[in-house]
């Protein structure tokens, strides 16, 4: 990794100012610092925590190294190691940490039931605006041990200023239910669902309705949320299963300061994560290249939530998912494996663990885990879809088709809204075994079920364009997909390839160049760009792109096709 010279010079100056340091000691510190920066850049959070800790021990007077060492210990989940660093950071005149050290000190004190020390953590803290609502929630829960839920509610009202208050309704609901104010609790739970509507909000409101013995309302709510996309459907489907089995309702999710503050930290983590994802999407739409995703701040708050409430499965799933995105698959597996079979997230985490195992070339373990999960859960469509995907990824497309045949045979006449994924997945495997007629029927069914899903539209449109069939319809489908998802390199590639198939090479090249910039590591997109360059007479550039395809680990069929093009060109006549 390249680091600007002035930063290295500044680091060296700081190290020398901390006292008498030998040349070898300085070199060691700089080496640890560079290792830490490289690990941080590549999202290796654990390695960054270790290297920054080593650099900080060698240069204890360097504020920036102290900040980095503290933050990465937190993001790695080493809260006890972060705590003494937080003490030192909070003592600085300009901590420059947005108040994160105060959060950690308060959490550590809450963990040990020292609420006086927890309150003191925020007395002189310089807290950034985006953290103020969470600090207000922490202060409210700190009023609860001595004054009860009513005092906590009063604190929440008194400290509320002009800042964002979207995190408050859920906390008001917890405290109102604890205080026996059930009408106020119901209204606050409803507002929380309307504000975010995430899995935690869905779970706690449905649980409230069950505890209030309003079974009809609980069922109606769960049935509505069970059809929504995303993770909110997981607790909704778990709630329906609980009602069907006549099982008792779940307890209130937060009845102690540690639990309430854990939920607040989780809400902040989720909010930052959503904002980060939205900003990345906006940057891509504006034409900027975005690097690897950085979700360290939401990871840090998810770890802090788990520190306070190790049984908080929502926070555990969030942290594990981020580690998986980072490629920290072993750590993700360890994190997610702690989720109990009784958790509504258990099935989803089996899927995520299986994906991590497959990434680690442990496909047999992944398949075994998902088969076991499928036997355990009735109507386990998501699990068997994931199973078919891993089986297909390992080249066993006929087996993948058999798995999906069984799933699709179980669907009702009016399947759930996300059943299009099943048809699309089976179509992919059917095409891999050259059964185009069945594949085309599945793709059409997927589009009929999900006419606003860009992936389904694009897959059918691209397949037609690739075969040179129904090109007018293919264009319509792909153009609609582009409108729905203008930042997808795969969809932009389809638009370019459809133009290529029509012989509109001058139009195609712009789309294919854009697709290659969005998906620089995709061998198919790169191959298409090489083809259009050849058709435009740009043969040197075409060969360069085809050579790049071979470096991107294409499948055997694409490798053979590209090697032939490098040998004889597209027309069979070489140069």
Degrees to nearest 5, angle at CA 452 with 442 and 419: 40
- The last residue of one of the domains, among 199, 233, 255, is 255
State the alpha helices, DSSP H only, in 42-131. Answer: 45-58, 63-75, 79-90, 100-111, 115-120
- The 10 Å Cβ neighbour count of residue 566 is 16
CATH code, domain with 401: 1.25.40.10
Is the Cβ–Cβ distance between 240 and 416 less than 8 Å?
A: no
pLDDT in tens, 295-341: 999 999 999 999 999 999 999 999 999 999 999 999 999 999 999 98
For residue 412, what pLDDT is reported?
86
- Length of the chain as a residue count: 575
Residue at 283 is within a domain: no
DSSP at 538: -
Is the Cβ–Cβ distance between 149 and 156 less than 8 Å?
A: no
Q: Which residue has the higher pLDDT, 124 or 83?
A: 83
Q: Provide the residue range defining the domain that includes 529.
A: 456-575
The answer to whether residue 347 scores a pLDDT higher than 70 is: yes
- The 10 Å Cβ neighbour count of residue 99 is 22
The answer to whether residue 281 scores a pLDDT higher than 80 is: no
CA distance 22 to 16: 9
For residue 478, what pLDDT is reported?
95
Q: Across residues 249-255, what is the average pLDDT?
A: 91
CA dihedral 446, 448, 453, 455 (to 10 degrees): 40
What count of Cα atoms within 13 Å lies in the side-chain half-sphere of residue 211? 17
- The last residue of one of the domains, among 399, 429, 450, is 450
CA distance 31 to 10: 15
**Token code pair at residue 72:** 């990465």
For residue 12, what pLDDT is reported?
40
Residues 404 and 487 in one domain: no
pLDDT category, 280, cuts 50, 70, 90? confident
CA distance 426 to 382: 14
How far, rounded to the nearest angstrom, does the alpha carbon of residue 72 sit from its chain's CA centroid? 19
Residues 440 and 497 in one domain: no
CA distance 49 to 82: 10
State the alpha helices, DSSP H only, in 246-312. Answer: 257-285, 296-308
pLDDT category, 10, cuts 50, 70, 90? very low
The answer to whether residue 1 scores a pLDDT higher than 60 is: no
Residues 559 and 532 in one domain: yes
Give percent of the chain above pLDDT 70. Answer: 92
Q: Across residues 11-26, what is the average pLDDT?
A: 43
DSSP at 355: H
Residue at 335 is within a domain: no
For residue 285, what pLDDT is reported?
64
The answer to whether residue 48 scores a pLDDT higher than 70 is: yes
The answer to whether residue 6 scores a pLDDT higher than 60 is: no
Residues 381 and 488 in one domain: no
The answer to whether residue 287 scores a pLDDT higher than 70 is: no
The answer to whether residue 462 scores a pLDDT higher than 50 is: yes
CA distance 489 to 561: 22
Residues 368 and 468 in one domain: no
Is the Cβ–Cβ distance between 493 and 528 less than 8 Å?
A: yes
Residue at 472 is within a domain: yes
Taking CA atoms, 432 is separated from 97, 383, 408, 425, 525, in Å, by 52, 22, 19, 11, 18
3-state secondary structure at position 59: coil
The answer to whether residue 573 scores a pLDDT higher than 90 is: no
Q: Across residues 545-550, what is the average pLDDT?
A: 96
Question: Nearest Cα to 100, choosing from 126, 123, 120?
Answer: 126
- The 10 Å Cβ neighbour count of residue 180 is 10
Is the Cβ–Cβ distance between 299 and 269 less than 8 Å?
A: yes
CA distance 150 to 144: 8
pLDDT category, 20, cuts 50, 70, 90? very low
The answer to whether residue 37 scores a pLDDT higher than 90 is: no
Residue at 197 is within a domain: yes
Question: Across the chain, what does the average pLDDT equal?
Answer: 89
Q: What is the pTM of this model?
A: 0.83
For residue 286, what pLDDT is reported?
63
- The last residue of one of the domains, among 450, 481, 498, is 450
pLDDT category, 381, cuts 50, 70, 90? confident
Query: Among the listed ranges 142-146, 438-442, 541-545, 568-572, which one has the minimum average pLDDT value?
Result: 568-572
Q: Which residue has the higher pLDDT, 1 or 475?
A: 475
Residues 135 and 221 in one domain: no
For residue 123, what pLDDT is reported?
85
CA-derived radius of gyration, the chain: 27
Q: Across residues 423-428, what is the average pLDDT?
A: 97
Q: Across residues 124-146, what is the average pLDDT?
A: 92
Q: Which residue has the higher pLDDT, 164 or 226?
A: 226
CATH code, domain with 34: 1.25.40
For 109, phi and psi rounded to 5 degrees?
-65, -40
Residues 125 and 170 in one domain: no
């Amino acid at each position: 990794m390249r680091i600007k010279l002035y930063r290295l010079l500044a680091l060296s100056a700081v190290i020398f100012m901390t006292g008498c340091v030998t040349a070898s000691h300085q070199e060691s510190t700089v080496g640890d610092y560079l290792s830490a920066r490289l690990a941080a850049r590549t999202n290796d959070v654990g390695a960054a925590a270790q290297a920054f800790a080593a650099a900080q021990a060698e240069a204890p007077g360097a504020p920036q190294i102290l900040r980095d060492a503290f933050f990465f210990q937190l993001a790695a989940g080493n809260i006890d190691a972060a705590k003494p660093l937080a003490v030192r950071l909070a003592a600085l005149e300009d901590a420059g940490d947005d108040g994160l050290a105060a959060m950690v000190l308060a959490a550590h004190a809450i963990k040990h039931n020292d609420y006086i020390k927890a309150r003191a953590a925020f007395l002189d803290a310089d807290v950034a605006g985006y953290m103020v609502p969470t600090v207000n929630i922490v202060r409210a829960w700190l009023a609860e041990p001595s004054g009860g839920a009513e005092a906590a509610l009063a604190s929440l009202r008194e400290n509320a200023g002009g800042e964002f208050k979207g995190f408050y309704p859920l906390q008001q609901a917890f405290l109102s239910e604890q205080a026996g104010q059930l009408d106020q609790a119901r209204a606050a739970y409803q507002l929380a669902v309307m504000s975010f509507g995430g899995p935690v909000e869905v779970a706690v409101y449905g649980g409230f309705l069950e505890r209030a013995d309003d079974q009809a309302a609980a069922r109606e709510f769960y049935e509505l949320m069970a059809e929504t996309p995303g993770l909110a459907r997981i607790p909704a489907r778990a709630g329906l299963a609980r009602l069907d089995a006549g099982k008792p309702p779940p307890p209130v999710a937060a009845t102690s300061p540690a639990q309430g503050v854990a939920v607040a930290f989780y809400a902040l983590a989720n909010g930052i994560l959503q904002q980060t994802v939205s900003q990345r999407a906006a940057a891509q739409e504006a034409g900027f290249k975005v690097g690897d995703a950085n979700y360290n701040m939401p990871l840090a708050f998810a770890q802090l939530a788990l520190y306070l409430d190790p049984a908080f499965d929502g926070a555990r799933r969030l942290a594990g998912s981020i580690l998986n995105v980072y490629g920290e698959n072993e750590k993700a597996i360890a994190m997610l494996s702690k989720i109990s079979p009784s958790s509504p997230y258990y099935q989803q985490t089996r899927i995520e663990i299986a994906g991590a195992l497959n990434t680690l070339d442990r496909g047999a373990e992944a398949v075994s885990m998902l088969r076991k999960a499928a036997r355990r859960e009735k109507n386990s469509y998501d699990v068997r879809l994931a199973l078919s995907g891993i089986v297909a990824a390992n080249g066993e497309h006929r087996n993948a088709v058999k798995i999906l045949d069984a799933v699709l045979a179980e669907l009702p006449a009016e399947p759930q809204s996300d059943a299009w994924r099943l048809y699309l997945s089976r179509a992919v495997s059917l095409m891999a075994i050259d059964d185009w007629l069945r594949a085309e029927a599945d793709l059409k069914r997927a589009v009929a079920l999900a006419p606003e899903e860009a992936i389904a539209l694009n897959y059918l449109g691209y397949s037609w364009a690739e075969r040179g069939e129904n090109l007018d319809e293919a264009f319509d489908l792909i153009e609609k997909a582009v409108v729905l998802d203008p930042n997808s390199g795969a969809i932009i590639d389809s638009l370019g390839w459809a133009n290529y198939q029509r012989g509109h090479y001058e139009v195609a090249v712009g789309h294919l160049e854009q697709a290659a910039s969005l998906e620089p590591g995709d061998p198919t997109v790169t191959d298409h760009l090489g083809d259009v360059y050849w058709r435009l007479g740009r043969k040197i550039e075409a060969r360069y792109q085809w050579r790049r395809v071979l470096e991107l680990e294409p499948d055997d069929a694409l490798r053979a096709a590209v090697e032939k093009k490098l040998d004889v060109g597209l027309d069979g006549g070489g140069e």
